[in-house]
C-alpha cells in the first residue's frame, strides 16, 4: 500500500493521480444523477447517450488531425455529442412515446457507427480500444479541470431543482398538473445525465459507463428509503468501486474499466443476495 502511495504521489506517473481525482470527484455526480436515472427508469436512454459519445470523440479526432485543430480535445466532441443525443432522445420520448424503444436502439447504434467511420477516416493510429473500454493513460491535467467544471455544472441544477426533479421522477403527471414545466425539467435531467456520462469516459469507457451510473444506486436502493440518502450512499459506493477498481487494475496490470465494472457488479450481486436473505427472515 505504501508503495502505491509513493507511486501515486510520485511525479513520473501523473496519470494515476489524475485518474484517482477524476474517479472520486465524478462519483459525486454519478451518485446523484445515477439515482435520478434509476428511479426515473431511463437507463436505456442513458445507455444510448453513452454510445453516442463515440460519435463525438470520432468527429473530434477526425477534425483535429485533418484540420490541425490541436485545441480540439476528444472530450469536447464527447460533450457536444452527449448533449445532442440527450436532446434528441428527450424529444423522442416526449413527443413519440410509442416509438421510443425503437428510436433508442437506432440512436444507440448510429452514434457508434458515426464514431467508427470518423475514426476509420482519421489518418494515423487511433486506439479505439481505449475509448470503448477506458484507459487511464488517456487522462491529462486538462481532463481533471474539465471534470471539475462539468461536475459543478451537473451538481448545481441537481441541488437547485431538487423538489422539481423528485416530483418529475415520482409522478410526472401530477407535477405537470401543478404547473411544473415537466418537459423542461426532463430535458434538463437528460442533459445532466449526458454530462455525467462524459465525466468517466476516460476511466471506464463508453460501453461500460452505464454500469457505473446505475449499479451504485441499484445497490443503495436496497439499503435506503429516502432519495437523498440513496444519492449519498450511491456516491460513496461509486467512490469505493472506482478507487478499488483503479488500485486492483494497477496492481494486477488489468484494464481499469472492466475491473471497476466487475467490482460494481459483484457489489450489486451481494446486495441482491442480502435483500433476499433479509426478506426471507423478516
Partner 1 sequence: MDQEMVKTENSDCIICIENLSFSYDSEAPVLSNVNLRFRRLESACIVGPNGGGKSTLLFLILGLLKPSHGKISVFGENPEVARLKIGYMPQHIQLDPDFPISVMEVVLMGRLRQHFWGRYSQQDRTIARDAMAEMSIDKLRDRPFSSLSGGQRQRVLIARALACQPELLLLDEPTANVDPGVQEHFYDMLHKLNQRMSILTVSHDLGFVSENVDSVICVNREIHVHPVSELTGDMVRDMYGYGVNLVQHNYRCSEGSHTHA
CB of 28 or CB of 169, closer to partner 1? 169
CB of 127 to partner 1, least distance (A): 41
Contact 48, 81 (CB under 8 A): no
Contact 275, 222 (CB under 8 A): yes
In Å, what is the CA distance from 106 to each residue of 51, 102, 214? 11, 6, 21
Query: Does 224 contact partner 1 by CB under 8 A?
Result: yes
CB of 63 or CB of 162, closer to partner 1? 162
Q: Give the three cell numbers for residue 219.
A: 445497490
Q: On the CB side of 62, how many CA atoms lie within 13 Å of its CA? A: 16
Number of Cβ within 10 Å of residue 69's Cβ equals 12
Residue with cell string 416530483:
167
Query: Does 97 contact partner 1 by CB under 8 A?
Result: no
> Pick from 230, 239, 246, 264: which binds partner 1 (CB under 8 A)?
230
The residue count for binding partner 1 (CB under 8 A) is: 27
CB of 18 or CB of 161, closer to partner 1? 161
> Pick from 178, 251, 276, 278: which binds partner 1 (CB under 8 A)?
178
Query: Does 255 contact partner 1 by CB under 8 A?
Result: no
Residue 87 exposed, middle or buried by CB count within 10 Å (0-12, 13-18, 19+)? middle
Query: Does 161 contact partner 1 by CB under 8 A?
Result: yes
Site string for partner 1, 64-93 (x = CB under 8 A): ------------------------------
Query: Does 275 contact partner 1 by CB under 8 A?
Result: no
Footprint on this chain of partner 1 (rule: CB under 8 A): 39, 41, 160-164, 166-167, 169-171, 173-180, 221, 224-227, 229-230
Amino acid at each position: 500500500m505504501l508503495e502505491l502511495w509513493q507511486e501515486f504521489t510520485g511525479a513520473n506517473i501523473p496519470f494515476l493521480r489524475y485518474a484517482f481525482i477524476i474517479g472520486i470527484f465524478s462519483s459525486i455526480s454519478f451518485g446523484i444523477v445515477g439515482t435520478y436515472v434509476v428511479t426515473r427508469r431511463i437507463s436505456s436512454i442513458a445507455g444510448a447517450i453513452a454510445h453516442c459519445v463515440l460519435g463525438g470523440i470520432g468527429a473530434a479526432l477526425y477534425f483535429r488531425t485533418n484540420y490541425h485543430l490541436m485545441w480540439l480535445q476528444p472530450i469536447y466532441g464527447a460533450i457536444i455529442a452527449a448533449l445532442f443525443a440527450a436532446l434528441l432522445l428527450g424529444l423522442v420520448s416526449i413527443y413519440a412515446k410509442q416509438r421510443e424503444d425503437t428510436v433508442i436502439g437506432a440512436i444507440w447504434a448510429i452514434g457508434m457507427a458515426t464514431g467508427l467511420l470518423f475514426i476509420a477516416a482519421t489518418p494515423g493510429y487511433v486506439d479505439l480500444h481505449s475509448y470503448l473500454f477506458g484507459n487511464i493513460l488517456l487522462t491529462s491535467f486538462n481532463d481533471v479541470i474539465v471534470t471539475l467544471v462539468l461536475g459543478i455544472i451537473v451538481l448545481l441544477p441537481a441541488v437547485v431543482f431538487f423538489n422539481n426533479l423528485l416530483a418529475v421522477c415520482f409522478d410526472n403527471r401530477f407535477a405537470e398538473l401543478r404547473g411544473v414545466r415537466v418537459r423542461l425539467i426532463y430535458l434538463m435531467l437528460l442533459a445532466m445525465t449526458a454530462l455525467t456520462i462524459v465525466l468517466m469516459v476516460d476511466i471506464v469507457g463508453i460501453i461500460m459507463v452505464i454500469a457505473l451510473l446505475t449499479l451504485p444506486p441499484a445497490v443503495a436502493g436496497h439499503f435506503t428509503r429516502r432519495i437523498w440518502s440513496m444519492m449519498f450512499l450511491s456516491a460513496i459506493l461509486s467512490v469505493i468501486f472506482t478507487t478499488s477498481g483503479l488500485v486492483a487494475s494497477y496492481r494486477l496490470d488489468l484494464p481499469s474499466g472492466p475491473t471497476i465494472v466487475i467490482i460494481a457488479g459483484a457489489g450489486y450481486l451481494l446486495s441482491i443476495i442480502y435483500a433476499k436473505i433479509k426478506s426471507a427472515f423478516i
